[in-house]
């Protein structure tokens, strides 16, 4: 299967929405499109789609995280591969591109937060050279 990686564009909103639902994040198409426009025009962000058989089969979003107490790092904000195209190297290719972009921006540290329930994703990250550094709880305040 030939996999092409391309920059994400607003016209990909429908596919991004479909895949985001598989990730467990259903969102209105208008909101997804707005998010894409903002992300792709923002500095220090990289959003990519994977194309196979002329269809979008995955996406990834990485961004530069600036915290006070650590050196800057790239965080993977989201990654999903279509459930019918998993296990074929699509996720690895998306990660490879984010690694290249990270090095281009001079950052040698990539991090990802992954729900403790996503055991398969954890194995995926291990197989792609990531090591587990900590478990954490996420707190949220809705206003």
Residues that bind ligand COA (CB under 6 A): 23, 79-81, 86-92, 112, 114, 118, 120-121, 123-124, 127-128
Least distance from ligand COA to the Cβ atom of residue 143, Å: 26
Nearest-approach distance from CB 20 to ligand COA, in angstroms: 10
C-beta of 71: minimal distance to ligand COA in Å?
Answer: 22
Cβ proximity to ligand COA, 72 vs 78, nearer residue: 78
**What are the DSSP E strand ranges found in 11-127?**
45-52, 55-65, 73-81, 110-112
The CA-atom distances, in angstroms, between 17 and each of 87, 102, 134 are 21, 25, 30
Helices then strands, each counted (H, E), the chain: 4, 5
Comparing CB distances to ligand COA, the nearer of 79 and 110 is: 79
Cβ-based nearer residue to ligand COA, 30 or 127? 127
Query: Smallest distance from the beta carbon of 112 to ligand COA, in angstroms?
Result: 6
Residue of closest CB approach to ligand COA: 91
Residue 69 or residue 135: which is nearer to ligand COA going by CB? 135
Half-sphere exposure of 133 (CA within 13 A, CB side): 7
CA distance 82 to 113: 20
Q: What is each CA distance from 19 to 27, 83, 91, 92, 125, in whole angstroms?
A: 11, 9, 13, 17, 19
Tell me the closest approach of the beta carbon of residue 90 to ligand COA, in angstroms.
4
Cβ nearer to ligand COA, comparing 36 with 79: 79
């Amino acid at each position: 299967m030939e996999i092409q990686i391309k920059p994400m564009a607003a016209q990909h909103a429908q596919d991004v929405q479909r895949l985001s639902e598989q990730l467990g994040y259903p969102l209105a198409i208008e909101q997804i499109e707005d998010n894409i426009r903002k992300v792709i025009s923002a500095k220090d962000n990289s959003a990519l789609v994977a194309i196979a058989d002329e269809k979008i089969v995955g996406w990834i979003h990485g961004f530069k995280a600036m915290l006070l107490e650590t050196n800057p790092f790239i965080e993977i904000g989201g990654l999903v591969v279509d459930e019918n195209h998993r296990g074929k190297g699509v996720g690895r290719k998306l990660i490879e591109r984010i690694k290249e972009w990270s090095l281009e921006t001079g950052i040698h540290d990539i991090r990802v937060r992954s729900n403790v329930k996503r055991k398969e994703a954890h194995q995926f990250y291990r197989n792609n050279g990531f090591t587990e550094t900590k478990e954490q709880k996420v707190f949220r305040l809705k206003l």
